Structure 1
Amino acid sequence: MTVPVLVIGEALVDIVGTAKPRNGNGKSTATPGGSPANVAVGLARLGVPTELVTRFGTDPYGDQLGAHLFGNGVQLAPGSVDPNFRTSTATATLDAAGVATYQFDISWEPPALSLSRGCPAIHTGSIATVLEPGAAAILGFLESVADQPVTVTLDPNARPSITPDPVSTWAAVRKLAALSDLVKLSDEDCEFLRPGLSPVQIAEELLTVERTQCVVITRGGNGALGVSRDAQVDVTAPAIEVVDTVGAGDSFMSALIAGLEQRGLLGEQRLAGLTSDQLHDIVDYAVKAAAITCTRHGADPPTAAEHAAKWGS
């Protein structure tokens, strides 16, 4: 594959800290992040050429982001680096189990969106799909390419601190999901967006539209569930020692896309012919990529070689 996968969404700096102990000060570190940017890095590390449409500044945080993205082989779309833009941040606080909660200082307005001839897939999600004015630009772009031979994947990655109303947020997710071939959710997304429904019920609801062919729901240490029109797979997670969960869902998402690419299911194929065995193997590959990330600090997705060395695949 020579034309890169197109990833659209925020790139920001994660300020990751631990909660303050009673008699001391918490510690914090600044690391590159943003869910779509993490997915772009994860794809590049797994050997999938990737272009990121984002926006960040030329301030110190922006310089850190740029070095990180270029250093991992991610192409940046024109206009993504803007000297008049202040780089966004997310402050992540880790609890005793290494689970992160976030507070955001972010604005979002992407540069012009366009689709290169031969692009096999578009991925978007997270804050970029709900924060205006960028959210409307993404929705309009996906509508404009709906008849093109390109696979669309979506990870809403719900952020209640930014969109506290689950009803309106779910309505926005449904509009984007109807333009997507694959939708990935977490169990936390499900609880916030559709309380009272099981993951399978939510997947079945999303699969009622013509375009959507597959829904994958992650369940933290319990693995993930994959549901297509013809199959349902339940994949367990390997036992690991968790350092933190920052970026784990993004590593999972990038590995999902990479797994589809490896099997020739992107582009005009649009997941057509996805079998139960393929779905299981792709979800298993993604679960194991996320597991590696959980054993390291911050959003640090594995390379293809690291994945193979750890899990033999």
Structure 2
Amino acid sequence: MRKIISIGELLIDFIQEEKNSYTMKAGGAPANVAVTNAKLSGKSFFVGQVGNDSFGKFLINELKRFNVDIKYLKKSSSANTSLAFVTLDENKERSFLFYRNPGADQLYIADNISDLDFRDSIVHFCSVSLGDYPIRDSHDYLLSKAISQGSIISFDPNIRLNLWDDHDKYHQTINMYLKYANILKVADNELEFITRKSDYNEAITLLLNLPRLKYLIITKGNKGATLYTKDFVIDVPSYQVDVVDTTGAGDSFIGAFLNRISIYGESYEKDVLCEYLKFASIVASLTITKFGAMDAMPYLDEVNDYKNKKG
């Protein structure tokens, strides 16, 4: 089994339940991926930082509760834990307001991971932590070392435009990091921003030509997901469920797909990859039937029970 190492933000999600009511949950896309894998019986490490405050203590305890290895999770007294207020519309879709300027997560330094062993690992990262702070240098160090030790690299840009004043710089930054990806997961509504292509097929072709890419996954909400390799395409549907909150849906999808890779290995067999994708789709569908992200993500026995009921 490969371990999954996620680097980036771990923060507090204040998620809207009613018009003027918010509930505190643990969040942050890379951390959500680590938790997804751990709840599916995988081995997860999280690399990041929280503030030396009550929010940070809560987040540390949450990762412990979900059996994520926190050896490389640090506490900072120089900045507070980052906060995100998540507002839900009538379709349970989200918008974000961040309090993070800078947050403790952005001040994470590369010295903290000098002894991290990347052998037999999958490294996962997103774009939210690629601004001009020490955490970006930590990404650069981690990715370089991971690639040298044969790690599989997974990138989910997970675009948050309101965190960047200069969107052209954001676009350029994302494209600088696309070259590292063996696995790239992109939401369909992010394609044009990332590729500057309004034509869907042109955008897909551009991404498939990335030098290290093996799998390109396009998630499409309730329309399912599509996986592209250089040789074939696989479409999988979403599962029809009662939607409570879509927070963490994309993170749980890629986390579950990486879990299958970590346990059963990379494959270029279409049938095998189709099973990986169906598994990921079930995990994401179950996640949106509950409130929050980490709490909502299913354990492996819940996924198996759902598969058995569906036949």
Shared fold by TM > 0.5? yes
Aligned partner of 1:27 among 17, 21, 43: 21
Distance 1:164 1:198, change over 3 A: farther
Aligned partner of 1:302 among 298, 307, 311: 298
- 2:205 is matched with which residue? 204
Q: Is the 2:42–2:263 Cα contact (8 Å) retained in structure 1?
A: no
Question: Is residue 60 of structure 2 the alignment partner of residue 66 of structure 1?
Answer: yes
- 1:42 is matched with which residue? 36
- Unaligned 5+ segments in structure 2 are none
Question: Is residue 13 of structure 2 the alignment partner of residue 14 of structure 1?
Answer: yes
5 Å-filtered alignment, 1:154-233, equals 154-163=155-164, 165-194=166-195, 196-233=197-234
- 2:74 is matched with which residue? 80
Deviation readout 1:51-82 (Å, 9 max, x if unpaired): 10010023121121111100000011335233
The 2-side partners of 1:93 and 1:44 are apart by 27
Deviation readout 1:215-272 (Å, 9 max, x if unpaired): 101000000111011111111111111111011111111101011123222xxxxxxx
Q: How many matched pairs? A: 300
Distance 1:99 1:44, change over 3 A: same
* CA apart distance, 1:194: 3.7
Amino acid at match of 1:301: M
Distance 1:85 1:167, change over 3 A: closer
Distance 1:141 1:261, change over 3 A: closer
Distance 1:41 1:79, change over 3 A: closer
Q: TM-score, normalised by structure 1?
A: 0.89
- 1:141 is matched with which residue? 142
- 2:113 is matched with which residue? 113
5 Å-filtered alignment, 1:285-296, equals 285-296=279-290
Q: Is the 1:12–1:56 Cα contact (8 Å) retained in structure 2?
A: yes
- 1:268 is matched with which residue? none
- 1:234 is matched with which residue? 235
Query: Structure 1 stretch 118-127 or stretch 248-257: which is displaced more?
Result: 118-127
What's the secondary structure of 1:295's corresponding residue? Answer: coil
Q: TM-score, normalised by structure 2?
A: 0.89
The 2-side partners of 1:198 and 1:246 are apart by 28
The 2-side partners of 1:100 and 1:302 are apart by 21
Amino acid at match of 2:290: R
The 2-side partners of 1:199 and 1:47 are apart by 36
Q: Is the 1:166–1:192 Cα contact (8 Å) retained in structure 2?
A: no
The 1-side partners of 2:130 and 2:39 are apart by 24
Query: Structure 1 stretch 81-90 or stretch 286-295: which is displaced more?
Result: 81-90
Coordinate RMSD, CA, aligned: 2.0
Q: Give 1 or 2: higher helix fraction.
A: 2
The 1-side partners of 2:77 and 2:165 are apart by 31
The 2-side partners of 1:69 and 1:79 are apart by 10
What's the secondary structure of 1:80's corresponding residue? Answer: strand
Query: Structure 1 stretch 198-207 or stretch 58-67: which is displaced more?
Result: 198-207
5 Å-filtered alignment, 1:266-281, equals 273-281=267-275
Amino acid at match of 1:94: L
Deviating runs (4+, > 4 A) in structure 1?
none
Amino acid at match of 1:290: A
Amino acid at match of 2:108: P
- Unaligned 5+ segments in structure 1 are 21-25, 266-272
* CA apart distance, 1:4: 3.0
